[in-house]
Amino acid sequence: MSTSAEKYSKRGVRTSYVSTVIGISLVLFVISIIIGGSFALKSIQKQAKESLQADIFFKPDFSDADIKQIEQELRTLPYFKEVKYVDSEQAINEIKGLDQNPSDILEILNGEIAIPTNISFHPKEEYADLEGMKKIKEELLSKYADEIDEVHYNEESVSDVNLGFKRFVFLFAFIAILLVVVAIAMINNTIRLALYSQRFLIKTMQLVGATSRYIKKPFLTKSIIQGLISAILGLALFMLLVYIADNVMEVIEIALSLKMLLVLFAIIFTVGVLISYISTWFALNKYLRMKVNDLY
């Protein structure tokens, strides 16, 4: 009879352990999506900001050779992601390649070269806002006062890109924080329930003279292992999701660099181990303080 009860108890402990690992893995999977989503959002924001374009127009008597010389000088400045020389013919071809019908513009040109040779540039992310673009414009007009006639960019587009992402980031951060709090609470609850089934074992060990440190050691060691296994499973589910989204669903392109993935892995492993360890610690302290009558 005692052997049967012992087998049943061991089976219950194993089931509790597996269910705890699965529960923590799913929660870490959700946290991975949140962190990975924030990295992907940052990458998309950077691409959008660096896709903004400005054009530098020169004085009429300035030669194309001199403009090319300035183009080379601009490439050495820290403000620009890309600098491109655009001659008159190329500018007209770009107008012809627009989705909108350029016939009105071409009729105005009447075959004449009405679009001057210019230099277009895309700013780096840190300068892709109204303040940064204004700084670039002032710097260029000051440095090339005799050569540059105008630095033109669409202020509305610059403002929209920055404001739109700020709103989205705030919304995403609010939802992410809410989900992380719920996730941590779920992990804590899962571990407490798992230890609840072993409360009599904990109290028995204490009653026969075992110290708190001796009782806690195997449970805390197991909590670290649980955290590591759960992190591996959670990250495996996340990488599977990324693979499906990136390769099967061709509409979605997820840009996560190796550095981002390594940071994500480090965070998930740390969170998994810490939450599992801390939740186990507090749950053990609770059962160690409880009286025998309170266990029922």
Strand 148-153 relative to strand 54-58: parallel, antiparallel, unpaired? antiparallel
* Residue 251 or residue 159, greater confidence: 159
- Residue 268: predicted pLDDT: 92
Alpha helices by DSSP H, listed for 144-197, are 155-196
- Residue 170: predicted pLDDT: 78
Note the pLDDT tens digit of each residue in 184-202.
Answer: 777 777 777 777 777 777 7
- Residue 4: predicted pLDDT: 45
Quick one: average pLDDT of 150-175? 80
Exposure of 217 by Cβ count < 10 A (0-12 exposed, 13-18 middle, 19+ buried)? exposed
Exposure of 208 by Cβ count < 10 A (0-12 exposed, 13-18 middle, 19+ buried)? exposed
Note the pLDDT tens digit of each residue in 223-248.
Answer: 899 899 999 999 999 988 888 777 76
* Residue 132 or residue 287, greater confidence: 132
* Residue 95 or residue 127, greater confidence: 127
pLDDT averaged over the chain? 78
Residue 16, pLDDT > 90, answer: no
- Residue 5: predicted pLDDT: 39
Strand partners, 121: 54, 83
- Residue 254: predicted pLDDT: 59
Quick one: average pLDDT of 97-105? 48
- Residue 213: predicted pLDDT: 84
- Residue 293: predicted pLDDT: 61
- Residue 109: predicted pLDDT: 46
Share of the chain above pLDDT 70, in %: 79
Angle at 109 between CA 108 and CA 114, to 5 degrees: 125
Rounded CA separation 121/81 (Å): 7
Lowest-pLDDT range of 128-132, 215-219, 226-230: 215-219
Residue 6, pLDDT > 60, answer: no
Are residues 140 and 148 in contact, defined by beta-carbon separation less than 8 angstroms?
Answer: yes
Q: Which of 131-140, 154-163, 200-209 has the highest mean pLDDT?
A: 131-140
- Residue 8: predicted pLDDT: 42
Residue 166, pLDDT > 80, answer: no
* Residue 264 or residue 5, greater confidence: 264
- Residue 235: predicted pLDDT: 93
- Residue 91: predicted pLDDT: 59
Q: How confident is the model at residue 90 (pLDDT cuts 50, 70, 90)?
A: low
Residue 113, pLDDT > 80, answer: no
